[in-house]
Every structure is written in structure tokens, then in C-alpha cells.
Amino acid sequence: MAGPSKTDVLSELKRIRDPLSGGDIVTSGMVSDIFVNDGRVMFSLTVPADKARELEGFRRDVETAVKAIAGVERAMVALTADVKPGARPAAAPAPKGGGQDHGHGHSHGHSHAPGGGQAQKPGVPGVRFIVAVASGKGGVGKSTTAVNLALGLAANGQRVGILDADIYGPSVPRLMRLSGRPQVVEGRILKPMENYGLKVMSIGFLVEEETPMIWRGPMVVSAITQMLREVAWGDLDVLIVDMPPGTGDAQLTMAQQVPLAGTVIVSTPQDLALIDARRGVAMFKKVEVPVLGIVENMSYFVCPHCGGRSDVFGHGGARHEADRIGVPFLGEVPLELKIRETSDAGLPVVATEPDGPHAAVYRSIAASVWQTLTGETPVRRAAPRIVIE
């Protein structure tokens, strides 16, 4: 059955009354940012900030009505709080279920890392540590680093998942050689995809690769929150979150509403990247999320023919910056053709060449991250079985 058109969705929405104005929610201007594609419907409802909490039930009712439209396979409706000048926004509604288990028999997730207010944030059932991989700007190899860090943790013996929170540019599906749609296991709960021993969730599984994500901040935040909390992650030692680049709504919301055990900042050695990385470190420190360290990606280039080393983007800048601001320096990853080729092919180097020199760099970074989280030195186990789907 073909999915509904945007006209079909709007027609159904016009039948729903705006509880504030009494008119329909489309004519009243409450509905915005509609995205309809192949049976998936996403949009936001703009409401006054002081009404956001009390309208959470209405949001769920609208979402239920959209799901009932013929051909709709998945619907996601977000509340966009419209804050008037001088007004103080209301607190965001608590996640559905208050962070409790969704019936999968896992314990309530929490973070053990120090940080103001961490214990007050609802965790993810079964997940011990949530670690964000962030960068101040795009193009520094953040997603490649996140995937190989996750694989490095798994190779060192941890149970690991990875959430691709880079809504505007989801690249984890390609890096992990995964495609298709996640299965619904019950209600709204999705089963994560799996490859190379990792559990994986990404907006890239829910929209076509070439579909532009023209979303405002609240829609991005809602999508990340649902992928985090409405996925059957199972029991994980670490959930790696590949964050969007920059220091916007997504980063701030994750830091304020999710019990992050810490963040890993990825930068290149050049001054422009370091300036942006500095902003990322400052933001996470301001919201009391521990910075686990900085990774210097594309640190140097070794010529495959003559063996000569070239510092294409400079060298040592991230290490010096880490020393200057008092955070750990986790390691240098070279600008290496093998890493680029394996990443583009969905054959990440830690999984496909686990005993090679480049995998060793990522495993070392993973070991440092794990030791900071727990104080434990990881015990190396056999690399996860490679499953190419």
C-alpha cells in the first residue's frame, strides 16, 4: 500500500480542534514542519511555552490520530514552545514513562560519572554509561571517530551501542554498512539494527538517504529523544551518541536532559577547528558534563611510498589545547587513506582489521575512555564477529 500524501495528512489534521483557539489545528497555524515520506509522518505543533506541559496529552492524541491514517507506518509529533519576549519558558514535559523500563526486564539506566544534577535526569533502561562524541564544527571526522571508538570499546570487552544523533547528516548507517528499517517490538519501541557486534539506531534508517532534513530545533530534539528512549537497547555498558556538529539545541538538550557520563571532543590540529572545539568544551563544562578528553583526528599523514611524514593541518594543536584547558588528551589519529576507504565502504577499520596499527589507535582511545568512566583497565577480548549485511 502506498503511503499517504501530505494532502491526506493535512485533511485529517483539519478535523482536529485546537484546544486553545477552538478552530482546527491547521488553520490556527499550530501545525508546522510537516514531513511525509514513504509511510512516515513527522511535524511539530507550535504552542505557548507556558502551555507545553499541559498539552503533552494533546500531542499524544494527535500522534495517535495520524497513526490511524491509512498507509502511515510511523508518526512523530513534537511540541514547539513559542516563547513570547520576556516570558520564561515552561519546563519540558518529562519523557513518557519517566525513564522506567518499557517491559524488557532491564534495570533503570544511570550515569556514575560526577557532575551536577546528573542523578536527577532519567536514564535509559539497561544502559550504564552514555557518552557523547561531539565536535565544534563539521568535517573533522567525528562520525568515523564515533564508530571506531564504539568498536574499540566492543573489542576491549564492553557491550556497546551507537546512536546517530546527527539528524541533518546521518552517516552511521553507511559507516556501519546497515540499511532498511528497524522493527517495532511493541507499541512505539523500536529494535535497533546490528552489525559488527554493535546495536545501532539512526534517523537514516527512517528517511531516505537523499531526503533533506529541513527541521527546526524542536523537531531535531524530539527525534533524538525518541531514538534514545524508545529503542530496545538491551543491557549496554556504553551507548555512544554521535552528536551533530556545533553547540546548538541538540547538544544543549542532550546535556541538560540526558545523564551523560561524559563527552569526547573531536578536532583537527588546525587553529580554526580548535577554536570551535574550544566552544564545545566550554559548553559541556558549563552544563556540568565531564569532558572525557580530546581526540586529534587527521593528525598527520605518512606517505605510503616514501614513509615521510607531513603535518597537513599542523600538528599537536589538540594536545596543547587539552593541556591548556585541563582536559585529557586521548590520542592522535592519522590522516590515512585506509581509514577513509574502509569508512566509505562500511568496513570500519577496527572491525575489519582489528590487529592493524590504525585499529590499535582507536582501541587505545577506547581504553582511556573506559578507564576514565570506571577506573577499570579494560580486558581485551576477541574482536566481534564481522557480519556484513
Residue 309's H or E segment, with its range, is strand 309-310
Decide if pLDDT at 230 tops 70.
Answer: yes
Instruction: Please tell me whether residues 65 and 126 are part of one structural domain.
Output: no
Nearest to 246 by CA among 136, 360, 321, 171: 136
Neighbours of 314 (CB within 10 A): 16
For the domain that residue 14 is a member of, what is the CATH number? 3.30.300.130
Nearest to 344 by CA among 183, 160, 173, 117: 173
Specify the pLDDT at position 305. Answer: 62
Instruction: Please tell me whether residues 219 and 354 are part of one structural domain.
Output: yes
Q: How confident is the model at residue 307 (pLDDT cuts 50, 70, 90)?
A: low
Q: Average pLDDT of 304-325?
A: 64
Q: Tell me how far apart the alpha carbons of residues 281 and 274 are, in angstroms, rounded to a whole number.
A: 10
Instruction: Please tell me whether residues 137 and 42 are part of one structural domain.
Output: no
Give the strand order in the sheet containing 160-164.
193-195, 198-202, 160-164, 236-242, 127-134, 262-267, 291-296, 329-332
Nearest to 293 by CA among 124, 113, 169, 121: 113
pTM over 0.85: no
More confident residue, 313 or 154: 154
- The two beta strands, 236-242 and 184-186, are unpaired
Give me the helices (H) in 326-379, please: 337-344, 349-352, 357-374
Q: How confident is the model at residue 118 (pLDDT cuts 50, 70, 90)?
A: very low
Do the domain assignments include residue 167? yes
Return the SS3 of 388: coil
Specify the pLDDT at position 83. Answer: 43
More confident residue, 300 or 197: 197
Nearest to 200 by CA among 222, 225, 233, 169: 233
Specify the pLDDT at position 91. Answer: 41
Instruction: Please tell me whether residues 122 and 78 are part of one structural domain.
Output: no
Do the domain assignments include residue 105? no
Q: How confident is the model at residue 304 (pLDDT cuts 50, 70, 90)?
A: low
Phi/psi-derived region of residue 163, left when phi > 0, alpha when psi is between -120 and 50, beta in every other case = beta
Nearest to 241 by CA among 333, 329, 164: 164
Per residue in 325-371, pLDDT (tens digit) is 778 888 888 777 778 888 888 899 899 888 888 889 999 999 999 99
Q: How confident is the model at residue 115 (pLDDT cuts 50, 70, 90)?
A: very low
Q: Could you tell me which residues are beta bridge partners of residue 201? A: 163
Residues 6+ apart with CB under 8 A from 54: none
Residue that terminates a domain, selected from 34, 65, 82? 82
Specify the pLDDT at position 32. Answer: 78
Enter the C-alpha cell of residue 34.
510537516
More confident residue, 344 or 275: 344
Instruction: Please tell me whether residues 72 and 140 are part of one structural domain.
Output: no
Print the domain residue range for 75: 6-82
Specify the pLDDT at position 197. Answer: 94
More confident residue, 122 or 205: 205
In degrees, rounded to 5, the angle at the alpha carbon of residue 167 between the alpha carbons of residues 163 and 171 is 65
More confident residue, 243 or 91: 243
Q: Tell me how far apart the alpha carbons of residues 289 and 307 are, in angstroms, rounded to a whole number.
A: 41
Do the domain assignments include residue 88? no
With a pLDDT cut of 70, the percent of the chain lying above it is 71
Instruction: Please tell me whether residues 278 and 359 are part of one structural domain.
Output: yes
With a pLDDT cut of 90, the percent of the chain lying above it is 25
Specify the pLDDT at position 114. Answer: 40
Q: Which of 40-49, 138-147, 155-164, 181-190 has the highest mean pLDDT?
A: 155-164
Judge contact between 62 and 27, C-beta under 8 A.
no
Q: Tell me how far apart the alpha carbons of residues 134 and 292 are, in angstroms, rounded to a whole number.
A: 11
Q: How confident is the model at residue 109 (pLDDT cuts 50, 70, 90)?
A: very low
Nearest to 171 by CA among 365, 346, 359: 346
- Mean pLDDT check: name the lowest of 21-25, 84-88, 258-262: 84-88
Q: How confident is the model at residue 35 (pLDDT cuts 50, 70, 90)?
A: confident
Instruction: Please tell me whether residues 46 and 143 are part of one structural domain.
Output: no
Instruction: Please tell me whether residues 157 and 59 are part of one structural domain.
Output: no
CA 142 to chain centre: 12
Do the domain assignments include residue 176? yes
Instruction: Please tell me whether residues 175 and 70 are part of one structural domain.
Output: no
Residue 264's H or E segment, with its range, is strand 262-267
Q: Average pLDDT of 284-300?
A: 79
Specify the pLDDT at position 341. Answer: 82
Instruction: Please tell me whether residues 76 and 181 are part of one structural domain.
Output: no
Q: 99 φ, ψ to 5°?
A: 85, 5
Q: How confident is the model at residue 216 (pLDDT cuts 50, 70, 90)?
A: low
Per residue in 233-274, pLDDT (tens digit) is 999 999 999 988 766 666 777 777 788 899 898 887 754 556
Residues 6+ apart with CB under 8 A from 202: 163, 164, 170, 172, 173, 227
Q: Tell me how far apart the alpha carbons of residues 289 and 277 are, in angstroms, rounded to a whole number.
A: 15
Q: Average pLDDT of 223-236?
A: 87
Q: Average pLDDT of 56-71?
A: 90
Instruction: Please tell me whether residues 77 and 127 are part of one structural domain.
Output: no
Q: How confident is the model at residue 135 (pLDDT cuts 50, 70, 90)?
A: confident
Do the domain assignments include residue 91? no
Do the domain assignments include residue 188? yes
| DSSP secondary structure of 289-306 | --EEEEEE-S--EE-TTT
Do the domain assignments include residue 90? no
Number of domains in the chain: 2
In degrees, rounded to 5, the angle at the alpha carbon of residue 69 between the alpha carbons of residues 224 and 25 is 70
Instruction: Please tell me whether residues 124 and 75 are part of one structural domain.
Output: no
Mean pLDDT score across all residues of the chain: 76
Specify the pLDDT at position 94. Answer: 43
Residue that terminates a domain, selected from 82, 109, 135? 82
Q: Average pLDDT of 187-212?
A: 83
Do the domain assignments include residue 97? no
